Homo-oligomer: A and B are copies of this chain.
């Protein structure tokens, strides 16, 4: 990274580049390299090991979509577990719902420290809320060992290279199933359908081994390479793609939740996949070479 432009590769032949104003924070922790980068186009960003995690200007898209879709697919989400999510953006959206307890398990305490200091516009007062318990630990280990039950599990992790690798295995999905209550729902970010097809297919097929209902949904996140981004949601009971928009609307109004990307209609539309992405999930190798 230079002081001038920050470059993030999407693949060996494609990159996003951001004009940089300043880099107010940089630290090598036991787990990763943390950077806070001020960019001209997207404001302040959290960058881990060279990969953009979130930015002030577009964080609302990713965080609304990783939180509101699962929470509004569950009729009464009371106890929520977030794995990762050290920037606090998902936590803040979960707190907009009438939940009782939230446990956030973040590997790297330094990420939370940096985000509380440099990105308060993303986490607000979320870390101070009395319903929130923060644990600094390995998320896969926590899920494997915990005897608590949660209604919704949100895996808001980095990509499956490096520290987050264990969160993208069938073993983790079995533990996730275990930790969820009777009608529980689990969601995970599952990468770029353009540049990480294999990862998306693995997440989808891994979750299908364990949960009766698994769906992929999409959002566009301008600061992620490829922009189109996938989430995979797994449910013990309800089909997240079949929630009636009127129900979503009622819940948003009764909880007084305002959004900037998510709407009741987006909840339905985000599950409609372009044909070549259906093909990726069905392991159609034609599509793999096609894009």
Contacts and interface: CB of A to CB of B under 8 A. Distances in A.
Interface of A: 5, 7, 10-19, 39-42, 57-58, 60-61, 194, 220, 222, 226-228, 259-263, 265-266, 268-269, 272, 274-276, 279, 287, 290-291
A43 to B, nearest CB: 10
Contact of A274 (B14, B61, B287): B61
Main secondary structure of the interface of A (DSSP, over half): mixed
A169 to B, nearest CB: 28
Contacts of A5: 15
Contacts of A220: 220, 227-228, 274
Contact of A291 (B14, B58, B268, B290): B58
Contacts of A222: 194, 226-228, 291
A261 B57 CA distance: 29
B272 A260 contact: no
Contacts of A279: 260
25 contacts: A11-B41, A12-B19, A13-B19, A13-B39, A13-B41, A13-B42, A14-B17, A14-B40, A14-B41, A15-B17, A16-B16, A57-B290, A58-B291, A61-B274, A220-B227, A220-B228, A220-B274, A222-B228, A259-B275, A260-B275, A260-B290, A262-B274, A263-B272, A266-B272, A266-B275
Given A57-B290, A61-B274, A220-B227, 14 more contacts: A10-B41, A13-B39, A14-B19, A17-B17, A222-B228, A227-B227, A260-B287, A260-B290, A261-B275, A261-B276, A262-B274, A262-B275, A265-B272, A269-B269
Contacts of A18: 13-14
A39 B40 CA distance: 27
A13 B223 CA distance: 12
A261 B231 CA distance: 19
A10 B58 CA distance: 15
Given A11-B41, A228-B220, A268 B275 contact: no
A110 B224 CA distance: 36
Contacts of A10: 41
